[in-house]
Amino acid sequence: MTSRRSAVDSFDALLEPFTAGVNAKCLSRTLDGDFDALAAVLAPRADDEGGLLVVDDEMLGALRGVDTRAVEVLLEDRARLAALGREPQLNVITHYRRDTRGLPVSVDVHSFHVDRAPVEADTFLCTYAGASSEGLDDEDAMRIIDDPAIRAALRELHGRDEDFADFLAEGSFDLHFSKRSGATPFTFGVGHLWRLAVAWPGSPVTPCIHRAPDADARPRLMLIS
C-alpha cells in the first residue's frame, strides 16, 4: 500500500480511527460465490430503475437459481455494518447518470471526488462484481477548482465575488479532483472491504479521493455505507 492506504487484517482493525495521514483502509478478502451471475440476474431491473437498483434482503431472499454462498456473504456483510448502526445499501449498477450540464466542473460520481458530511462520517465500500471503484492518493491529485482557468470560469458562472465559496460548496465543485499527469489511480478491487475517510469538520485526516469506474458491459454489484 502507500502512506495514504493501509491493509488491515480484521474487521475490527478497519474500524480503528484514521491516523497518520492514512485515509483508506482495506480488509483484503477472497470471497466464495458467483457474484457476477447474481449481478447479471438483477441487471435488467437496474436498467428499469435508471441504471441503479437498490437491493433489499427480501429481494435477495426471493432470487432463484443464484449462488446461495454469494447471497450469504451479502447478507452477512450488510448485517455486520447494520450492527454498527449504519444503513448499508446494496446496489446493482448498470450505469450512473452523468453530469451533462457542461459546467466547468462535472460533479458526477465518475469524476474523482471526496465525500462530505456535516458530522463525523466515513464510507464503507465493497465491489462484489463488475468493475471496481478507483482511488487516488492525495499526492497524485489536484483540486479542480485550484486550476486558475476553471476557477475563473466558475466565478463567471456565479456572476459575482460575494458568496463564491458558498457557491463552490453548494455545487460540490470544491469536492472534485483531477489526476496529476503521470499518476496512476489505484483500484479498490473485487471482494475487498474498504473504509474511506470522509470530509467532515474536525476530521483528523484528509478525505479519500475516489470515483466510480467507467461503465462497461458488466453490471456492478456493490455495498456502500
Give the number of residues in contact with Fe ion, rule: CB under 5 A. Answer: 1
196's enclosing H/E stretch is strand 193-197
Cβ-contact 129, 53 below 8 angstroms: no
Q: Which stretch binds Fe ion (CB under 5 A): 4-12, 75-83, 115-123, 157-165?
A: 115-123
Is residue 115 near Fe ion by the rule CB under 5 A? yes
Least separation in angstroms between CB 115 and Fe ion: 4
Smaller CB separation from Fe ion, 38 or 223: 223
CB of 159 to Fe ion, least distance (A): 29
Q: Are 119 and 72 in contact (CB under 8 A)?
A: no
The DSSP string of 146-182 is GSHHHHHHHHHHH-SSTTHHHHHHHTTGGGBEEEPTT
| Dist. CA 177–CA 141, nearest whole Å | 6
Site for Fe ion in 66-95 (CB under 5 A): none
CA geometry: angle at 97 spanning 95 and 100, to 5°?
135
Q: Give whichever of 77 and 115 is closer to Fe ion, judged by the CB atom.
A: 115
Nearer to Fe ion, 115 or 122 (CB): 115
CA distance 21 to 207: 10
Given the complex with Fe ion, which of 115 and 137 has the nearer CB atom?
Answer: 115
φ/ψ region of 15 (left if φ > 0, alpha if ψ in -120 to 50, else beta) reads: alpha
- State in angstroms the smallest separation of the CB of 137 from Fe ion: 16
With CB under 5 A as the contact rule, which of the stretches 8-16, 50-58, 111-119, 138-146 interacts with Fe ion? 111-119
Residue nearest to Fe ion (CB): 115
Which residues form the interface with Fe ion (CB under 5 A)?
115
